[in-house]
Amino acid sequence: MKEDLLHFLWRFRRFDHSALSTTEGEPVEILQPGTHNTHAGPDFSNARLKIGSTVWAGNVEMHLHSSGWLQHKHQDDRAYDNVILHVVLEEDQPVLRADGSRLPCLEMKNRIPPKLIGSYQKLLHNEHWIPCQHQFYEVPEMTRSLWLDRLLVERLEQKTAAILHTLQANKGNWEETFYQILARNFGLKINAEPFEMLAQSLPQNILAKHRDNLLQLEAFLFGQAGLLGQDFGEAYPNRLQSEFGFLQKKYALTPLNSAAWKFLRLHPANFPTIRLAQFARLVQQSAHLFSKILEVKSQADIESLFEVKLDGYWLTHYTFGNESPKKNKSLGKDAVRLLTINTIVPFLFVYGSQQGNQDFKDLAISLLERLPAERNAIIMGWQRLGMEAKSAYQTQALLQLKNVYCDRKRCLECAVGGAILK
């Protein structure tokens, strides 16, 4: 058993609370269980309890065994001075307050319904794709729907936190922050980190000075990516190499290690070389891109901003030195939709939050509602369970559910898991 189960039982009062008493025999009445604390400090704050004839207001701490108080050194932490009740599965030793008095303790081992423990163990110890695989549809549809709404907001809030962290590092520069996170998502999952490192090492204001010269933009990006450090037998990469040699000295640039870039098992259209060439073209045609994003009203507006087509060398190459049949390598609709989901929507949401403008937040949600469902391994897994997502709004919520709750067996914090145990 995990301590989380005690939190769940206390929070929802899913235990036998008739004739409650401390291990010293004092009667206990729960007037208010308190607010669950997921950060440092006692597990529940602002509880109100009647212990004996006295009403107490304060915090509640929980452990599987009372000795956990000493193991975690709470006796030395002033944040625990206001604990009014110690709730444990089993009291294996008494706990004393700083003043030497005994901390009231409530033992739970004979108060938990055996059926609930059985259900909990089944969720925790099975190897299904999701722990509640055979019980998911036993939970009312309304409960599941409301939970997915909450998960979508939670996912946006997580992305908001990442954006704000980068914004702070960029001293409040929204354009630079958008450029860096857009670059990260241009790299897709497998090349996200080197793309972001590239953008961080090559500030947007440097590229802006050379926006009218595509050769120099490509030289900047491919050279700084570390992909020009070899001998080439073709004229174009040699021109890029020569151009970067000049730019590198001018701006004192230190290129990334080329080994950071992954090509293996990628579709050629997603090779980092192609994505970098597309990114260079986007930079060339999109001055003050974030300001333009703030003016969009629909996905069609976004697609017009991201209408990127490669020409010249890249029509017949996926990588340097390897010629291939001529093929258009534009940034397709699916790619732009992913950039909308992972970059534009979170930026609209966080910008709306920071500026107190609900219109931007509403637009972010509206874009997700109107975009088709994503296609990936996790969404296919949900489909096998009968969950047919109809929009990116739903797929984003389902990704959050699987990655953040199901895979981590956080069933007690999940509305579906909670409903099963109730």
Instruction: Please say whether the dihedral angle defined by the alpha carbons of residues 164, 170, 175 and 181, taken in this order, is positive or negative.
Output: negative
pLDDT of residue 124: 86
Neighbours of 326 (CB within 10 A): 8
Record the tokens describing residue 330, joined without a space. 């534009």
Pairing of strands 44-51, 54-65: antiparallel
pLDDT of residue 195: 97
Burial class of residue 6 (count of CB atoms within 10 Å of its CB; 0-12, 13-18, 19+):
buried
Tell me the whole-structure pTM to 2 decimals: 0.85
pLDDT of residue 373: 97
Q: Which residues of the chain have pLDDT under 50?
A: none
Tell me if 406 sits within 8 A of 130, measured CB to CB: yes
Burial class of residue 356 (count of CB atoms within 10 Å of its CB; 0-12, 13-18, 19+):
exposed
CA distance 307 to 280: 13
Tell me if 71 sits within 8 A of 77, measured CB to CB: no
243-259 residue pLDDT tens:
999 999 999 999 999 99
Unique residue bearing structure tokens 């984003």: 396
Phi, psi (degrees; rounded to nearest 5) at 28: -125, 130
